[in-house]
Structure 1
């Protein structure tokens, strides 16, 4: 599947480059140029005229607002509505009621252990002590609330009222049971009571009774066995439990005041009707006309400023969309310059067609190749930017082709332009050959014509001649769009170094000189590259990377091996391995050189930089373990250790997901191909070991692959490899061939 992603020939994110490509000043200048383009494109349509009107007179025309002013009445209504929607604010206080539990049990032990007090005396003491301890605990809470802080005075009153009104009244008969509790009973009861209180007080309670109803359930599931103990724990827990969530009126009022303050003003917007034709001009209407400088009382230059404001809004919308984009245009001024150029070409084409409206063809605006800009942006930059640009092109069309003096925008042209632009973006998203552009142009013609037909049915004032012309203009517009896009694509690809899907498909043609060279001089490497392309494309698609770039990059990643093909094992057919007769250091130099040689060869053939980067970076700075250990084995005793750095590729490490994925697929394909009869377990173990080794070696430190994506890549490679190396049926051997191996061959 072809991914419609664009990659700059710079190969790396724009923020890694220097000079004007990331200059903030250049970026600002380009956006200013866009604003000037918008201004000049619609200036002749949107500079408003002034009117000679007096209070009490009848307006001869419908007059529209030319700028935005606040509607004070509606703004006040919006503020009150916002304040009404604010929910009451509550404060959650740490009650620390478990300390009250501990104090109560300590008091129970103390009083019950006093033999000088009779049971009646103890009951009287308990009857007075419990409320006193509750009040003391409440006073400690009150003291923790700082009254001097804003809003806390009201909160303190709310807390006092809630604790007083919701205080639990222990039944009178319970006080007669407390003296019967032994020390052992109290020791067993205390942790249960404390646990119940802590668990229930963890909830936000405005009404303590809701928590008290759950006390019996929790106590009955406790390890207490005595009925009296469970009953006393329940009463103590109910007594201790209090609300901990209190209404904060001051904070609520502050929230409502803030809601009023943050409410956006309600405006009379540009384009709204100020006075209808035949309507009498009131004093309020006259004031609005004066505020907008629509009266012929004085010469004003505010309309130009209004148009500048609208142009700035267009630029701001585009800027915000670019800023949020994940495409290189977010940082790269090269792509932003290309976007500006596309806008210039598209608006120029629209203005040229608009000249024909001065003739007898009033609907010639339907002929404009508005979708050309959207299609070019979708192919060369990205679909998200193409969508927002489609909206801007539609707005410009509704102004440029507006011939009705009473209206600022003609929705018919805007609607048609929006439909054809959106259609072109969707139709071109999977383009992988030049013919796809022509198909997209046909789709633009079709949907443009359908939209015009729908407008004709809605507005039954067209003549037959107008209908035929409008329909013909729509069909011609789609074909003209396709022709212009096909003609302009090579210009943008060469001038801005854009590696589009169309270009990638062209580079994957086996008739390319480098691929022919690879096939004829190193057939083993060619087959290996094709296999790596299959693996890397599937892996890249699984993590949202550019699968087509990975496939094409894989085709060329080992092109450097064509300089010394016999030194690479896949090309050593019926010949002796030359590495057996040379020093490991020389072998290392030959092997390492293929990445650099490949990058240089690709540069000689003017291959795009992302392809060169894959060839140069697919090994990163990995270690040539075979020759490193061979060198160590041949090393004389007592000699200085050979540093690993001497047997590592010079790098750089992978700078993109695509380069990293090709490197993984390259290593995996070679490793699995070395297995005689690879099983599912062997393949999975091999793949994950290779990825882990590269991860531990820091080969992914400079690209944005995540651990989750690496796991997804491993699973995808396993699935793809199983499809490639699936087992085949073992055919019975002929009698003379009985001595041959009976192993099952792998595809």
Structure 2
């Protein structure tokens, strides 16, 4: 209990500390309130109060389909089922065990008495008294019965016969001894019974019987002579009478009527009965103005009033609780995967406005009464696919699925709760999530819209067949047209409104990234001409970073674009960087500290160039974070050596550190690792697989040990996959090559070969 309380407390503290989570949950609550209000508006009706024989003052029409329970028919059906539920009787297995024990003791003592006191003549008075003395007080019979028993000389046979009789009387499926005649205490006309065995180590079994076959103890006593005679017809008359007397004297009930269990089963049977339902169809006229109120009309009016009165309480409260459950589930995922579901405040605003606009639009569409077959067409008139497509493109499929679930829920309820509406909306939402997964160009969205439209057509046709709606008429042809047009229109909406989201909220979509990845951009042309080494380095980093992101299912396109731009700040001082061959005369004049500060400044210059070129923040983050807060050890080391030789210590490590920040996501962290790995691999002499492997692992370990990856969310498993990917690509890029011979050496060998051939 304490552990669960601690978890709740920690969760509440996390919510209190995170403004983004608080804002998101507050927005979700507002959405729930708006949704509940819109879903409730059409369900508030007028109650009518009439008596039989009154005159209707106005037409009463059913505003929506109303299903209700026909209490009278349901009660009749439940009574019928209750009367078929079997009456429960318990068979006590311990009674038979006791009787078998008594018979065993009686036979054993009789046998021992005869063996100890053999009779000298026909008089057995002494043996009878001796036997009575040996028997326990609870096993006592009259002298005549005991005398007949002592006369029989095959006691083993007699014991088996008596055991067979007892087993038949107490344990035969069609026998048993009821304590008293069944008096029908539940007043149910039922002749079906079930007998279950209790007080047995074995599994409880039940046997179906008719009530008439269950005999009371008086009835069994009257039949005991016949039972004994049928089981042991060859016993001598005297001993048979003795056995009959013993069985009759010891007879006691082993069956009892279980009133509570019978009542429980009857109630259970009643509850299993499906209530008999009636239905008032939408648009049905219950009564017209001026008509007389008949009992049947009054019954329908009472049903109408009951539904109208309960809506304000049960229905509204029910849909409110369902949506609160959505918030709880959404809140759990939001807290656990905050960056995945709602990475920033802008995402909350976008989702909030998208859902609210959708709900308001759906509300007004639901009030149109001229829809052709509304069960099929309602969901097709809503931008369900648009909502999930736009969220999937702007953010990710997981958030899109969450939004889609709520939209399907709202669409189903606002559309009347029809199963076909729910299925059509669910299909549109789900297909909208995944149809944009492999889209590379904006115009490809039209292809996705066509796919959605075709799926809508197929699904509408299937729903029509299921609901037995005629498909060979002009109305259904219109539905097919609406279904196809729905998908295409949704994709056109996405195509038209996507740039608005990108520019208004500054969101970087895959289409924006594809546009930014164009290497024919002026900035890349300038880099190629001014800093070719940096250009080549950026392309290699881009390649290996993209491959690593694909391996761990990160945003590989973002990583590729970010890597392309991460070193654009080096263009301004290209001649100062080793990859471009140092040609700037300042390189020989600068102290280690000055040189380090210039190199560090390429991050700031890169950010300024990115902002001047209108790059989005998600790409600028790669420029800011690709060095994190690492130290330039080469210049720091030079500076320390110089300080030692001069005999004074004025070196500050912070002068040689990048300003950061550290990578805050997987993609920027991977570019940081790729940047370091590529630069270090380029410096290797005769790079071999072993050298590259050690180099990559050392770089990853150092970054991890220095805390550069603490905000990146990279797991150790992902880091292992990244290392393997880096190693695989670097091995191909920096492999050793064979040394080709010079042209002069080839000609020299050819002349020598010709000379040798001439000599031969």
Q: Which moved more, 1:666-675 or 1:599-608?
A: 599-608
Q: Which moved more, 1:628-637 or 1:300-309?
A: 300-309
Q: Which of 307, 324, 346 is the equivalent residue of 2:358?
A: 346
Give the whole-Å Cα distance in 2 for the aligned partners of 1:607 and 1:707: 32
Matches within 5 A, 1:396-411: 396-401=410-415, 408-411=416-419
* Contact 2:424/2:456 (8 A) holds in 1: yes
Matches within 5 A, 1:24-43: 24=22, 26-43=23-40
Deviation string 1:184-233 (CA, Å, 9 cap, x unpaired) is: xxxxxxxxxxxxxxxxxxxxxxxxxxxxxxxxxxxxxxxxxxxxxxxxxx
Matches within 5 A, 1:170-189: none
Q: Which of 609, 619, 628 is the equivalent residue of 1:601?
A: 609
Q: Which has the higher contact order (CA 8 A, sep 6+)?
A: 1
Give the whole-Å Cα distance in 1 for the aligned partners of 2:485 and 2:275: 36
Deviation string 1:539-564 (CA, Å, 9 cap, x unpaired) is: 22333432222111111111111121
Deviation string 1:116-149 (CA, Å, 9 cap, x unpaired) is: xxxxxxxxxxxxxxxxxxxxxxxxxxxxxxxxxx
Alignment correspondent of 2:452: 444
* Contact 2:44/2:311 (8 A) holds in 1: no
Give the whole-Å Cα distance in 1 for the aligned partners of 2:275 and 2:413: 17
* Contact 1:683/1:718 (8 A) holds in 2: yes
Deviation at 1:523, TM superposition (A): 2.1
Q: Which moved more, 1:650-659 or 1:39-48?
A: 39-48
Give the whole-Å Cα distance in 1 for the aligned partners of 2:661 and 2:562: 16
Deviation at 1:662, TM superposition (A): 0.9
* Contact 1:560/1:597 (8 A) holds in 2: yes
Give the whole-Å Cα distance in 2 for the aligned partners of 1:450 and 1:588: 66
Matches within 5 A, 1:223-234: none
Question: Is 1:716 aligned to residue 719 of structure 2?
Answer: no
Q: Which of 372, 378, 403 is the equivalent residue of 2:392?
A: 378
Give the whole-Å Cα distance in 2 for the aligned partners of 1:273 and 1:400: 26
Give the whole-Å Cα distance in 1 for the aligned partners of 2:714 and 2:640: 34
* Contact 1:614/1:659 (8 A) holds in 2: yes
1:698–1:412 CA distance, 2 compared to 1 (3 A): closer
Alignment correspondent of 2:422: 414
Q: Which runs of 5+ in 1 are unaligned?
A: 1-14, 67-73, 75-267, 279-288, 402-407, 740-747
1:437–1:345 CA distance, 2 compared to 1 (3 A): farther
Deviation at 1:578, TM superposition (A): 4.2
Deviation at 1:471, TM superposition (A): 0.7
Give the whole-Å Cα distance in 1 for the aligned partners of 2:346 and 2:314: 30
Q: Which runs of 5+ in 2 are unaligned?
A: 1-12, 53-60, 70-77, 79-270, 281-297, 749-760
* Contact 2:371/2:377 (8 A) holds in 1: no
Which structure would you say has the larger Rg?
A: 2
Q: Secondary structure at the match of 2:635?
A: helix
How many equivalent residue pairs? 503
Question: Is 1:620 aligned to residue 628 of structure 2?
Answer: yes
Give the whole-Å Cα distance in 2 for the aligned partners of 1:738 and 1:376: 68
* Contact 1:346/1:372 (8 A) holds in 2: no
Give the whole-Å Cα distance in 2 for the aligned partners of 1:323 and 1:655: 22
Alignment correspondent of 1:510: 519
Matches within 5 A, 1:298-317: 300=309, 303=312, 306-307=315-316, 309-317=318-326
Deviation at 1:474, TM superposition (A): 0.7
User: For the aligned residues, what is the CA RMSD?
Assistant: 4.0
Q: Which moved more, 1:444-453 or 1:390-399?
A: 390-399
Deviation at 1:617, TM superposition (A): 1.5
Deviation at 1:339, TM superposition (A): 0.9
Deviation at 1:609, TM superposition (A): 1.9
Q: Secondary structure at the match of 2:435?
A: helix
Give the whole-Å Cα distance in 1 for the aligned partners of 2:307 and 2:558: 63
* Contact 1:53/1:295 (8 A) holds in 2: no
Give the whole-Å Cα distance in 2 for the aligned partners of 1:440 and 1:576: 53
* Contact 1:349/1:369 (8 A) holds in 2: no
* Contact 2:445/2:491 (8 A) holds in 1: yes
1:483–1:311 CA distance, 2 compared to 1 (3 A): farther
* Contact 2:550/2:556 (8 A) holds in 1: yes
Q: Which of 641, 644, 649 is the equivalent residue of 1:640?
A: 649
Alignment correspondent of 2:67: 64
